[in-house]
Chains A and B, each alone.
Chain A
């Protein structure tokens, strides 16, 4: 769609959605993450989190480095289940 700017490719979240939520008063990145599912897809936020940090800093007048990053979850890259359980029940 023309003009649709995607922030999160895993969960198809747009810049407009992020901005609208910040405008509604949600400025905690852990809350933005959970309401929009940014950082919760298979890429674990590699693409979206830096962009959202930038938007959040611009809209709230904070410095980007003052905004804590959302807690990272293991694994940092997707791992196939059989890699983990391989020998466990063979």
Chain B
């Protein structure tokens, strides 16, 4: 048994800690704020395999299969439901692009299909079908409660003995050659250290700072924090807009009904580069912009009340694909998820835990594709299909 430090108490860190505990490892998990405070608790709840490249499709196909069994495995109601994702095309060119994407997804077992607007209206009763020509519909995509999912992982991991510490900030490492030997951290003003055999950097938007502490160049994995905002309406009768509904050509705007309280979550690709890693202040231009798209997608929303607006980070490498892999002999990274960390967590957590303990993984994760050293080599992947 080795002692592994996981830095970052978001969904990736917590899921990996759980998987490591399952493999019998001793885990110490550090979160500088409260669990989920970075990006996880600010996400829009969606889970999809409808990507446009092989690596992300295969990873998410596997992740959805894990999601399907997660509630039973963790023995916790996480409100995972396969209510689908519906992408909507506004031009003939887009319909052709949808067809190509669907063909690729079908090849890897994702059952997306092209649907007409009559069927789309049956799936989303409040949909304005007039501007759209066709939809790409995968009923196996879905959503879950990010708060409950994170704690479901955390509670199980703690039962298995992991030492999970919040309000505990990692401030440095001791390193011998290419090996990290200890982690220094601060809690309640006291500085302590712990000897470790391996470390995972799962700090997402904050990951470059952790890399720097490990003696690496801050920009080895160049992650930029973009402020991504969401707006939510008052609770509405369930069934109005259960799938995530998104016309990509409308600035990736989307709506999705929260599976817990029925409020409609509205997002759009109106991004602001964060002024700092504390800058999660909502903006009025986003509110106005996102709602003008939302009422075009679903006109009855005009008469709903909005109750809250919040922001979080899309932690984005230049190609919007995360960096997943090894940086030093015993120092690993899984960060830069660009808004996809929550949906990918069951697959990435397992893959990472297996890589760190066995040097390989049974998860269909394309290590070369997500290689954290690709940026230094000047390689970029095709951009991961990102919405909102």
Contact = CB atoms under 8 A, between A and B. Distances in A.
Contacts of A34: 36, 41, 147
Interface in A21-36: 26, 28, 30-31, 34-35
Contacts of A82: 295, 302-303
Interface string B97-121: 0000000000000000000000000
B34 A31 contact: yes
Contacts, number: 81
Nearest to A75: B306
B34 A44 contact: no
A80 B308 contact: no
A80 B287 contact: no
B218 interface: no
Contacts of A84: 287-288, 291, 306
Interface string B282-321: 1000011001101110000111111111100000000000
B288 A78 contact: no
A41 B258 CA distance: 13
A69 B164 CA distance: 24
Interface in A69-90: 73-75, 78-82, 84-85, 88-89
B332 interface: no
Q: Interface extent on B, as a size class?
A: 20 to 34
B308 A88 contact: no
Contacts of B310: 73
Given A28-B166, A34-B147, A81 B306 contact: yes
Contacts of B292: 85, 88-89
Contacts of A42: 234-235, 305, 307
Given A88-B288, A89-B292, A89-B295, A75 B302 contact: no
Contacts of A31: 34-36, 151
Interface in B134-167: 147-148, 151, 166-167
A6 interface: no
Contact of A73 (B41, B260, B308): B308
B55 to A, nearest CB: 32
A37 B301 contact: no
A57 interface: no
16 contacts: A26-B151, A28-B166, A31-B36, A35-B148, A40-B308, A44-B307, A75-B306, A79-B305, A81-B233, A81-B295, A81-B306, A82-B303, A84-B287, A84-B291, A88-B288, A88-B291
Interface of B: 34-37, 41, 147-148, 151, 166-167, 233-235, 260-261, 282, 287-288, 291-292, 294-296, 301-310
